[in-house]
């Protein structure tokens, strides 16, 4: 196993991790920003007000993007296992 192989595996792992986390993080960011603007406009300073809408948005995002996220992870794992002989020698 050469250092370039290790770097390639790490790079691919980071790409897959970013692809899986990006939809959830973006939805949480946008929902938090919109709820924060709404709270600032109405001067409601309730911390729990932002929790339920963000949670619902994340669940909806998981329902919509979950199959794609699972497919990306399964494809990466399949490719990783298929390349074990090439990595070893």
For 21-73, write each residue's pLDDT tens digit.
Answer: 999 999 999 999 999 999 889 888 887 888 899 999 999 999 999 999 999 99
Domain membership of residue 21 as a residue range: 15-88
- Which pLDDT belongs to residue 54? 92
The total of structural domains in the chain comes to 1
Question: CA nearest 78: which of 16, 6, 3?
Answer: 16
- Which pLDDT belongs to residue 86? 85
User: How many other C-beta atoms are found inside a 10 Å radius of the C-beta of residue 72?
Assistant: 16
CA-CA distances (angstroms) from residue 81 to 4, 19, 48, 65, 84? 18, 20, 44, 25, 5
Q: Is residue 69 one of the residues assigned to a domain? A: yes
Question: CA nearest 1: which of 63, 80, 68, 88?
Answer: 88
- Which pLDDT belongs to residue 30? 96
Q: Tokens 């494809």 belong to which residue?
A: 75
Residue 89 has pLDDT above 80, yes or no: no
Q: Is residue 41 one of the residues assigned to a domain? A: yes
Q: Is residue 67 one of the residues assigned to a domain? A: yes
């Amino acid at each position: 196993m050469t250092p370039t192989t290790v770097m390639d595996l790490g790079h691919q792992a980071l790409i897959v991790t970013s692809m899986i986390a990006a939809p959830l993080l973006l939805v949480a960011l946008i929902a938090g920003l919109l709820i924060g603007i709404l709270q600032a406009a109405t001067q409601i300073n309730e911390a729990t007000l932002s929790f339920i809408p963000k949670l619902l948005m994340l669940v909806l995002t998981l329902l919509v993007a979950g199959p794609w996220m699972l497919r990306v992870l399964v494809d990466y794992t399949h490719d990783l296992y298929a390349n074990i002989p090439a990595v070893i020698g």
